[in-house]
Amino acid sequence: ETGVTQTPRHLVMGMTNKKSLKCEQHLGHNAMYWYKQSAKKPLELMFVYSLEERVENNSVPSRFSPECPNSSHLFLHLHTLQPEDSALYLCASSQDWSSTITYEQYFGPGTRLTVT
């Protein structure tokens, strides 16, 4: 399997549930990202990991908890979400994360999350 894969593709959860989104990249990249895409809002960068270390955290509520156990896998743990958290969550990877060079982002297909 190539590229960036995400599971599940669709998820419906209640506000009291705990669930996790999974992302896997098969590109040998060192950086991985979580994005949120809501209707009529721009794509929002949530977290950046480089070589399994979190390098950016854009003021995301603590009910979203990322985990990067190795450079190929990235998780987003969800708990006590709100209905306004319903969105498409996209994972991406790139060769590296650098302040001086911007590498092409390769996106996964996303997880469509609905919080009821």
Least gap, CB of 91 to other proteins (angstroms): 9
Task: Round to whole Å and give the CA distance between 63 and 66.
Answer: 10
DSSP class per residue in 62-86: TTEEEEEEETTEEEEEEES--GGG-
Q: What does the binding site for other proteins look like in residue numbers (CB under 8 A)?
A: 40-45, 55-56, 58, 90, 99, 102, 104-105, 107-110
**Closer to other proteins at the Cβ: 15 or 96?**
96
* Contact between 102 and 83 (Cβ < 8 Å): no
* Contact between 83 and 113 (Cβ < 8 Å): no
**Closer to other proteins at the Cβ: 66 or 108?**
108
Least gap, CB of 30 to other proteins (angstroms): 16
**Closer to other proteins at the Cβ: 44 or 79?**
44
